Amino acid sequence: MTEAARRAQTKKVPVMADVARLAGVSHQTVSRVVNGQTNLRPETRERVLRAIRELGYRPNSAARALASRRSATIGVIGCRSGYWGPSTVHRAIQAAGRAAGYFVSSVELPSMRREELLGAIEHLRDQSVEAIVLIGGTDEALEAVGPQEERGTPVIVVEGDETRTRWTVGVDQVAGAELGTSLLIELGHTAILHLAGPQSWTEARSRLQGWRQAMTAAGLRAMQPVVGDWSARSGYEAGLEIARRDDVGAVFCANDQMALGLLRALAESGRSVPAEVSVVGFDDIPEAAFLVPPLTTVRQNFAAVGRRAIEITQAALADAPGPARLIPPELVVRASSGVARIGHPSG
């Protein structure tokens, strides 16, 4: 244990002055870090954060709220869908918010219907939240969010539409779909079907767009997509149909759950993956590496999305430009994608 930590232990509760002394900065600099201000040198911020961790300093949020006349609370609205992506983003935003010194008040809705969403927004406003983060860029949700900003509470939409909302954050879905489709093209596939998500979701439309762009850029015909509802069951039902077709050599799936159902349907139908049909998913759920065969997929960094959502929340509250809205995806290549066979629909 360092001398500074031992000194801290002799006090009942470390205070901001202790942090300033250990970090070698002013009281005001510590306050700026604690309050999430961004106009600091990175090395100074890191020195202060290191001192906070070493001393175990916890800001007095109630006192800060009284002094600033701000609640230091943000609201988060999600949907009880059970899907790994949105639930992981929700947890990441809660963790990032707490790390930035905010109270986080969460509301989980059974659906993103307009009436339920507006009720949740009013509930959070009654708690004097400074901003609201909405997870779930459906058309109905975006239509509900638009007029809300006129009432003074910024609403940051995760995986929203930059043309329809002022503040949004997420992974570059178009680029991710291009990565997954381009891999299949590089492997020699030409007959690449897209198993799409529900088209009322901006993410699903963006992934459809990325698949189409990659096909067009390669001079390939984009066949009619098959549309699912994000669930493994819809992937399974689509897979039974795809297994009966002889014009499909590869499938780019809009998420890993649908890919999971597709893999089972293909296996039950006697279609070998990737020898007969290559499969690529999207998300990189924890189970993706343990499917049979292990699933090639596009990884979304949900922890980074959570951190970026809080950074953009802080920018919205300061009416500042903020960081880049889109986070790059990553392609994870596993055994479900293989080279197209000569004479095969994709070879």
CB of 114 closer than 8 Å to CB of 56: no
On whether both 229 and 82 belong to a single domain, the answer is no
Q: Say if CB 347 and CB 189 are below 8 A apart.
A: yes
Domain end: 33, 59, 85, which one? 59
Same-domain pairing of 183 and 278: yes
Is 340 within the bounds of a domain? Answer: no
The answer on pLDDT for 82 being more than 80 is no
C-alpha dihedral (95, 99, 105, 111), degrees to nearest 10: -30
Q: Domain range for residue 18? A: 3-59
Interatomic CA distance for residues 269 and 246, integer angstroms? 13
Contact 142, 118 (CB under 8 A): no
What CATH number corresponds to the domain at position 32?
1.10.260.40
Domain count for the chain, please give it: 3
Q: Please indicate, yes or no, if residue 32 is contained in any of the structural domains.
A: yes
Residue type for 200, please? Answer: S
Mean pLDDT of the region 231-258? 97
* pLDDT at site 8: 44
pLDDT tens for residues 271-290?
A: 999 999 999 999 999 999 99
Q: Is the peptide bond before 293 cis (omega within 30 degrees of 0)?
A: yes
What is the pLDDT, as a whole number, of residue 271?
97
pLDDT tens, residue by residue, 300-311: 999 899 999 999
* Per-residue confidence (pLDDT) for residue 208, from 0 to 100: 98
Q: DSSP letters of 72-110? A: -EEEEEEE----HHHHHHHHHHHHHHHHTT-EEEEEEES
Q: What are phi and psi of 298, to 5 degrees?
A: -100, 120
